[in-house]
Amino acid sequence: MRKFLPLISLLFLFPSHAVSYDISLSKSSVPAYDSLMISYFIDLGVQKELSYSVILMGERYNETIEEREVTTSYVNESKPFFTSNIPAGNYTLTLEFHTKDESGTSRRTLIILPTPMLQLSKKEAEAIAFKNTTSISLTVRNVGNVPLQVSREVQGEGYFDVSPDSFSLDVNEEQEVKIEFQKPENTTTFTITFFGDYDGMKTNQSLSVNVIVPYVNVSFSEEIFNKTILRVNLSNMGNIEQEVVFKVLYLSVEGVKEFSFNRTILPHTEESFEERLDIPQDSKILSVSMLYLNEEGEWVEEKHEYGIFGLPVPTPLLNFFTWALRNETARGLLISAGAVVALVLGFKLVKAFIGRKK
């Protein structure tokens, strides 16, 4: 038995379970906006307090993918990793852990491939050519992982001016572009294509623009119920959507006031609707107007007059009389002036009557 005591003592000097660990990747190289699986394990053999981290390190980019502190004997994880917004280049994926007694590091190489990609703020657009020249704007963004030199090409009839004509974009950088074009004879479509180049690697995105030459034919009729309900028959036989503005002019004890509301109507459409007027019940409606855009893009007004006793009355005159009736001094002067006018008219009538008798 004494012969085996030294061997038994040696068993207690060395751990009975070797610590093992590793990290691995499902792919060793990926483009931008791709995904891969990261897998790693740490086997301590016995339960211990453990801290570990998984870090992706490169020349211009570092990212901590996982960082934890646990009490365990075994860690085994797999998780997806997305390569969006990571610049192209060679990276080192590192698993590092620490306990009170042990530490370890495992590394793998990951190559993010150059991936040129452009993104436009819109793929389709509509422009109404009210004026001789019309413009639209959009944003061009570099969503790839390499810097790009951007150029453009326009397909369509007529004159086009693109500003800026060409430009460079770093990763995640964007540029606003203005496209100006002349009014065509008829409604048409043109396409502008943006090309991004990185060391001979190319990408492109296109915008299709429908240019509408406007034809305007908007009209309305109305009825008023109980002084506060406006029933409207609205017609848009033109080829553009119109957001018309209705204005109701009314006379109240506070003077001439206005109530307005908007209504959107699609092209080649007729509709009827009711609008409750937020005006005092005892108000007198003077007119109903509709404002809309003409073929030059200017606001024009169609106005239906009601007036007083069927006669239109200028708004300043209505405001003056309303103010005079509410002001005690002005009301007295107005009554006195009315009495004087009545006396003068009466005197003239009597004089004319006597003249006829003679």
Residue 242 lies in a domain: yes
DSSP code per residue over 97-129: EE-SS-EEEEEEEEEE-----EEES-SEEEEE-
Q: Are residues 203 and 223 in the same domain?
A: no
pLDDT category, 183, cuts 50, 70, 90? confident
C-alpha span between 3 and 63 (Å, rounded): 57
Percent of the chain with pLDDT over 90: 63
Q: The domain spanning residue 135 has which CATH number?
A: 2.60.40.10
Predicted model pTM: 0.67
- Residue 4: is its pLDDT beyond 80? no
Question: What is the enclosing helix (H) or strand (E) of 297?
Answer: none
Residue type, 291: L
Domain containing 157: what range? 118-212
Instruction: Report yes or no: 57 and 94 within 8 Å, Cβ to Cβ.
Output: yes
Burial of 330 (0-12, 13-18, 19+ CB in 10 A): middle
- Residue 357: is its pLDDT beyond 90? no
Task: Say which residue, 350 or 21, is predicted with more confidence.
Answer: 21
Residue 58 lies in a domain: yes
Residue 4 lies in a domain: no
Residue 8 lies in a domain: no
Task: Say which residue, 281 or 100, is predicted with more confidence.
Answer: 100
pLDDT tens per residue across span 324-355: 555 556 556 656 666 666 666 666 666 666 66
C-alpha span between 22 and 55 (Å, rounded): 14
Structure-block tokens of residue 239: 């080829």
Residue 124 lies in a domain: yes
Q: Phi/psi at 345 (nearest 5 deg)?
A: -65, -40
pLDDT category, 254, cuts 50, 70, 90? confident
Task: Say which residue, 130 or 253, is predicted with more confidence.
Answer: 130
pLDDT tens per residue across span 185-196: 888 899 999 999
Structure-block tokens of residue 334: 């107005």
pLDDT value for 131: 87
C-alpha span between 66 and 48 (Å, rounded): 19
C-alpha span between 3 and 1 (Å, rounded): 5
C-alpha span between 191 and 209 (Å, rounded): 6
Q: Are residues 105 and 26 in the same domain?
A: yes
pLDDT category, 12, cuts 50, 70, 90? very low
pLDDT value for 132: 87
Instruction: Report yes or no: 285 and 246 within 8 Å, Cβ to Cβ.
Output: no
Instruction: Report yes or no: 259 and 325 within 8 Å, Cβ to Cβ.
Output: no
Q: Are residues 52 and 83 in the same domain?
A: yes
- Which of 146-160, 261-275, 303-317 shows the lowest mean pLDDT across its residues? 303-317
